[in-house]
Amino acid sequence: IGTIRTISGYEINVIPGSEKDVVAAVEKNYSGSSDMETVLLDLVKVDASTVELGAGVDATQVELRANDPPVVKFVNLLLLDAIERRASDIHIEPREKTMDVRVRIDGVLQEVAPPPKTMYFSIISRIKILSNLDVAERRLPQDGRCMVRIGDKKVDIRISTLPTMYGQKVVMRLLDTEKLSLDLEELGFTADQLSKFQEILQRPYGMILETGPTGCGKTTTLYAGLRHINTPEKNIVTIEDPIEYDLEGINQVQVKPDIDLTFASGLRSILRQDPDVILVGEIRDRGTAEIAIRAALTGHLVFSTLHTNDAIGAIAQLQYFHIEPYLIGSAVDLLIAQRLVRKICSHCQEPHLVSAKVLKRLGVTADPKDDFKLFRGKGCPYCNYTGYWGRIAIYQFFEVTSQVRKLIFEGAGMDTLRKEAARQGMRTLRESAIGKLRQGVTSMEEVLSVTLED
């Protein structure tokens, strides 16, 4: 105990615990770390006789060290561990004297035991070599990609580097096709939302717009819609930046601004390819918006996305692009806003009672004398003691009915449209999340974290 106190610099409190408690604590704090510790020991041995690399380091030497077995092993194990833990992103961030490694799991960043800072340049160079980036260039951001195989599984990795005060920050986005669910029934729709979505998917022309922040699952929902209607009788073409997943039987085009292949120019070319269905990855400007709207009005079913806080906000965004109200009202059929909430781990789910006062924070009215049973995850080895496993979407649907079209034609404001949406029974994102809460799918903390009060 004295040795631990000396090394750590902390006071040590000795607390008796059962064997079960001790094993659980070990699994929580050291699970999956044995391989990492082996790598770290190797790294320390390699670095013991080396000089810390500075700004003037020889790029050739760095590239050679990037192929050292310990560096290769560390990068491989980092990727393997992240993929096995279902991570969507890996962050490698340099600090003044250390480096941080974090992985994003179910939307939340979690720390990983980092290697010594002296290995930082070699690790970054190894990642650059894998993705065919310029090892010597450390002043400018770079983007690349690579593919890794784990058994029969292939994972596409997108790499982005960014120069910061203490070196290059690297983010690796992991696109695991086996993790992607394109079954409409599994996305998180309510029964009435699913029915409405399937109905509009069968229309020969029109526009479906998805809104929400980056990483909320918009593309997955639209991919699922495309797969649902993908038949040999239909010519489906997409233009994306980037192409996130390969969709069998669908023609996918990657935006390349450096050669003037933009969303707008690509969309013009797609319209000459006899398409039935078009997906535009994102409407970013007036030119793209105009072409997409006119495509929807000339016999094509068009899917696209916008960055707005709610479904009705998509109309305001199109107006901001100076699209005429009569074009918006005529072209758009369905507006969808979505978010992702974490699902309670099924292995450690437990009920708990909450008061009416607490429910009131969610906007749920209840008898103040009663307590209500909700669920939460207490944390277990399966979910790495987070209490959550996986995510599910919550949706807000706003159908552009004849009455809504009339209001848009008349130039109605957002408040008027929201009142009409409420009259039609549109669920807000908070209400959709509360539905998942009542079903025991997610927790109250997630609902409060992901959605705003209406």
DSSP track, 62-123 = HHHHHTSHHHHHHHHHHHHHHHHTTEEEEEEEE-SS-EEEEEEETTEEEEEPPPPGGGHHHH
Q: Output the pLDDT for position 34.
A: 47
Backbone angles phi and psi of 123, in degrees to 5: -65, -45
For residue 15, is it within any domain? no
Q: Output the pLDDT for position 198.
A: 97
Q: Which residues of 49-85 are buried (b: 16+ CB within 10 A; e: fewer)?
A: eeeebeeebeeeebbebbebebbbbbbbebbebbbee
CATH number at residue 398: 3.40.50.300
Cβ-proximal residues to 46 (8 Å cutoff; 6+ apart), any chain: 68, 70, 119
User: In the chain, how long is the greatest CA-to-CA distance?
Assistant: 79
For residue 27, is it within any domain? no
Domain termination site, one of 176, 203, 229: 176
Distance between CA atoms of 284 and 286, rounded to whole angstroms?
7
202 and 162 in a common domain: no
Backbone angles phi and psi of 372, in degrees to 5: -120, 145
188 and 163 in a common domain: no
151 and 298 in a common domain: no
DSSP track, 382-417 = GGTTSSEEEEEEEEEEEE--HHHHHHHHTT--HHHH
For residue 22, is it within any domain? no
Q: Output the pLDDT for position 354.
A: 83
54 and 203 in a common domain: no
Cβ-proximal residues to 328 (8 Å cutoff; 6+ apart), any chain: 293, 315, 318, 319, 408
How many domains does the chain contain in total? 2
Place of tokens 């003044």: 96
User: Block means of pLDDT (10 residues each) for the chain, length 454 residues?
Assistant: 54 74 66 47 36 41 62 88 92 95 96 91 92 92 89 86 96 85 92 97 97 93 96 97 91 94 96 98 96 97 95 96 96 98 96 80 66 87 92 97 96 94 93 93 93 80
Pick from 239, 252, 218: which is nearest to 292 by CA?
239
Strands (DSSP E) along 165-225, which ranges? 167-176, 206-211
196 and 160 in a common domain: no
209 and 172 in a common domain: no
Q: Output the pLDDT for position 13.
A: 76
For residue 104, is it within any domain? yes
Distance between CA atoms of 302 and 181, rounded to whole angstroms?
22
Tokens of 177: 């096709």
Domain termination site, one of 130, 157, 176: 176
364 and 321 in a common domain: yes
pLDDT digits (tens, 9 = 90+) for 351-384: 988 877 777 777 776 665 566 789 999 999 999 8
Q: Output the pLDDT for position 180.
A: 76
Q: Output the pLDDT for position 151.
A: 74
Name residue 377's amino acid. Answer: G
CATH number at residue 152: 3.30.450.90
For residue 111, is it within any domain? yes
For residue 45, is it within any domain? yes
Pick from 360, 366, 395, 389: which is nearest to 376 by CA?
389
Domain termination site, one of 117, 147, 176: 176
Tokens of 67: 């192929």
Strands (DSSP E) along 188-275, which ranges? 206-211, 236-240, 251-254
219 and 139 in a common domain: no
239 and 129 in a common domain: no
Q: Output the pLDDT for position 55.
A: 40
Distance between CA atoms of 111 and 109, rounded to whole angstroms?
7
Q: Output the pLDDT for position 31.
A: 54
For residue 144, the surrounding DSSP H or E stretch is: strand 142-150
Which structural domain range is residue 103 located in? 33-176
Output the pTM of the full model: 0.81
Helix residue ranges per DSSP H, 91-210: 120-130, 191-201
115 and 203 in a common domain: no
Backbone angles phi and psi of 242, in degrees to 5: -90, 175
For residue 2, is it within any domain? no
pLDDT digits (tens, 9 = 90+) for 209-262: 999 998 899 999 999 999 999 999 999 999 999 898 889 999 999 999 999 999
CA dihedral in degrees (148, 149, 153, 159; nearest 10)? 0
Distance between CA atoms of 302 and 291, rounded to whole angstroms?
11
420 and 304 in a common domain: yes
List the strands of the sheet with 153-164, edge to edge: 108-112, 99-105, 87-94, 167-176, 153-164, 142-150
For residue 1, is it within any domain? no
247 and 119 in a common domain: no
